[in-house]
Amino acid sequence: MANAGDEESSLTTDLMLCSICLEQYKLPVSLPCSHSFCLTCLSKHIITSCVKCDPPLGFPCPLCRKFIPAPGKINEHSVDRWAKLFPENKLLALIATGTNSIYCKSCQEDDEESKASSWCMDCSEVLCDDCVKCHKKVRLTRNHVVVAITECSASFHQSLSLDKCETHGGRKLEIICKEHLLPCCSVCVTKEHDGCKTFCQLEDVDANTVGPHNVKNLQAEVETMCSNLEQIITDEKTNMSCLDNASDKFAKELSGITTSIIATIKKLEEKHLDETAKLIKESKSKLENSVQSLEHRLSYLQYWKEKLTKNVSNETILKTNEILSYIKMKHIYESMGNLDYPKLEISIQTEILDSVQKLTSLSCLAKTTSREKSKQCAINQRIVDLKCAYVVNVSEFTIKNCNLHDGEFLSRDKLLLTGYKNKRCVLCNTDGVVLQEIPLPGNPWGMCMHVGNEVLVTLPLSQKVVVLDANSLEIKQSVHIDRRCFGISTSGNTAVIGARDSVLMFDNFLDKNICRPLATKTKYADDVALGGDGNIIFTNYSENVLNTFDKSGKMLFKYSHEELKSPYGLTVDGHGNIFVCGGTSNNIHIVSNDGKTLRILKGVQNPLCIKFLRGTNRFFVGEEDGRVKVFELQNS
């Protein structure tokens, strides 16, 4: 049995030194993995770990290398503040005061001095042996976790708490807002949800709101997102290996030429290889950065996926913590789904010059360039065979007095629609219940999401584009356009607008100084879309054609079909396929990104617009007289 001297020695060696700086702890904080570090040391480690991550979602523990998710919501706190948001390790803070002996706090309150031997994780107090026995006898504290101080080491486990409100000082979450499917504390209800009408206690949430089927579906969707991320990472790692192989190939080609010629060629060979090595290094560095960022996101998803799985049971009625786990994961999943997922692919090309024999006049041996191709990947979208996929009718409803021209999914079960005649946008759920009406300073026509948290709405008669906040639906900005603007689509900082007699492209989001017309000899070009490869797509409903141009204005293809009449609305899915509505042919044409007919969908009547829920196979079709149909494509 260890004596007092052994215990004090153990405290000194095991508890008092930070494993990063190897000095006595200064403001020790603990991570969810149970390891503790100085506040400053941990902050430096976090900042260093997140340099190449966009956005930063977490970091590896300096000791065990387990992934630690960032505190709060995605992008809620700056990286340099993360360390301050982790809990203080009160035991280590007490030990770091420098005293050789630690005394029982309970005994000190009775003016007695007894050396502490244990630590209560719930009370955050040190206890002597006698007080530990009392602690175990009292009903209020008998279930507390009490451990020997010498066994704590630098581990200080912090349980994941989902029932505390992060916005309002850790108040208990007791109520759920059914309109937003968000847990609320008493302050949330009076502030953030003061306009909401449907609430219930967390323990009274019915299975239709959050039940086992919701959990099962979310788990499947998260698994799909993880699998797609893993595939992108695998592809980019393979790309790195191909770059190495390309380097070997180029070196052999050059070696065969340079062995039979003079020393001048040797110098040029070295110059070229140096340039090639530098380019490959830069290319691999870009891929490594991209892989690290994707692995970072994958770790974040897997961390919360594991937490959700542990917290979920197979019971018919979910418990409060299971409900909270589901809601937490759902919002993490939606937040992750709003991020961009570019898949980087780099190849190296070289061309041996025909004039190599004329060495005296050469300045280089070969031309070496890299070609980068980055495209957005729908990481949370299952791949379906469009030619034979089932088209599931999710819901149908009519919005009264809504002259519908366009709309967008704000979430899986919420739509924002334009009401042209009444100068409004209508927020409704996918069951057709109107949640809010947003008045606008003009008649709205086209609509698109921009960078995940903004909604752009065109007002053709006012020659304006208004920018709405996607959460509050308040107008943030109004941009004047010098002509009538109808359809609108954006990708990054690029925007295209259908102006009926032309298609306008803005290389820096509606900056009129760099606006350029792409197609000026056209009529009735109202609806536009941007493809995943940056191509501009628009319809001409008077000529019954679909046109696709590249960014330079060169036509790539023109699509027409005997069963496509009056093409109005169009959109692009996560894989670059084009969906265009046949307004009077009462169908939807699915067109590949090279202009081939993949399928013609029936079951719509005078369709005017179509939009996908980003990263999914769910879409809605707006018809005349405010009719809305929500569909989902599923593999047969």
**165-174 tens-digit pLDDT:** 877 877 888 8
Q: In the structure, how many helices (H) and strands (E) does the chain have?
A: 11, 36
Residue 8 has pLDDT above 60, yes or no: no
| 100 burial type by CB count under 10 A (0-12 exposed, 13-18 middle, 19+ buried) | exposed
Q: Please state, in angstroms and rounded to a whole number, the distance separating the CA atoms of residues 297 and 81.
A: 20
Q: What percent of the chain has pLDDT over 90?
A: 28
Q: Report percent pLDDT > 70 for the chain.
A: 89
**Is the model's pLDDT at 571 over the cut of 90?**
yes
- At 156 the pLDDT is 53
Q: Say if strands 36-38 and 555-559 run parallel, antiparallel, or are unpaired.
A: unpaired
Express each pLDDT in 38-66 by its tens digit: 999 999 999 999 988 888 999 999 989 99
> What is the largest distance, in Å, between two alpha-carbon atoms of the chain?
98
Q: Is the pLDDT of residue 19 over 80?
A: yes
In this structure, how many other beta carbons lie within 10 angstroms of the beta carbon of residue 197?
A: 9
pTM above 0.85, yes or no: no
Find the mean pLDDT for residues 487-505. 87
Q: What angle do CA 18, 23, 28 make, to 5 degrees?
A: 40
Measure the CA–CA gap between 221 and 616, rounded to whole angstroms: 10
Q: Where are the beta strands (DSSP E) in 136-292?
A: 146-148, 175-177, 182-184, 199-201
Three-class SS of 449-484: EECCCEEEEEECCCCEEEEEECCCCCEEEEEECCCC
CB 408 within 8 A of CB 425: no
List the beta bridge partners of residue 118. Answer: 127, 148
Q: Please enumerate in sequence order all residues whose Cβ is within 8 A of that of 97, keeping only pairs 6 or more positions apart, or say none.
A: none
Structure tokens belonging to residue 25: 């702890």
CATH superfamily assigned to domain 402-634: YVTN repeat-like/Quinoprotein amine dehydrogenase (2.130.10.10)
DSSP-assigned letters across all residues of 118-131: EEETTTTEEE-HHH
What SS3 class is residue 445?
coil
Question: What is d(CA 491, CA 489) in angstroms, rounded to the nearest whole number?
Answer: 7
Q: Do 563 and 582 touch, CB atoms closer than 8 A?
A: yes
Q: Where are the alpha helices (DSSP H) in 39-191?
A: 39-49, 82-85, 90-95, 105-109, 129-137, 149-152, 186-190
Alpha-carbon span 137 to 203, nearest angstrom: 31
pLDDT (0 to 100) of residue 5? 47
SS3 content of the chain, % helix, strand, coil (to 5): 30, 30, 40
Give yes or no for a contact between 370 and 283, defined as CB atoms under 8 angstroms apart: yes
* pLDDT at residue 7 tops 60: no
> What's the chain's average pLDDT?
84
Cis before 71? omega within 30 = no
Q: Look up the CATH architecture of domain 4-152.
A: 2-Layer Sandwich (3.30)
Give the range among 67-81, 273-287, 365-379 with minimum mean pLDDT.
365-379
